[in-house]
Amino acid sequence: MDVLSFLYKYVGPALWALMPISAITLGLVFFVVYSSLTRQEISEWVEVLLAHSKETATLLGLLGSVYALTSSFQVDGISPEEIRQRMFSIMSTGFWSTIAGVLVSLEASIGLLIMKRT
């Protein structure tokens, strides 16, 4: 349990929520590629899930940035070096959650594009 709480503290809530969405989206993209290569019909629910994950991932990435910015106002420290170190950690969490949200959104967009082309 200590490992999970450490990861949650390190990556933030938005990136923590993006992990399962990324795995599901990647699985759906692989399914779309496989179905298009074997000329199988793709169900409508795959398109719905990819579209929703595209929008949700972008919003969760933005949420991570907002969470990091609001957390940066709560930093207290004794020395300027300690404050700088905490601020760097908080801001990098927001940066990485934004990057992850955009990447998952691009992943879903690629799946939707492949789906529309077949």
Return the sign of the alpha-carbon dihedral for residues 42, 107, 17, 62: negative
pTM tops 0.85, yes or no: no
Model confidence band, residue 15 (pLDDT cutoffs 50, 70, 90): confident
CB atoms within 10 A of CB 10: 13
- Which positions ≥6 away from 46 have C-beta within 8 Å? 28, 31, 32, 115
Model confidence band, residue 77 (pLDDT cutoffs 50, 70, 90): low
Model confidence band, residue 70 (pLDDT cutoffs 50, 70, 90): confident
How much is the mean pLDDT over the chain? Answer: 84
Model confidence band, residue 26 (pLDDT cutoffs 50, 70, 90): very high
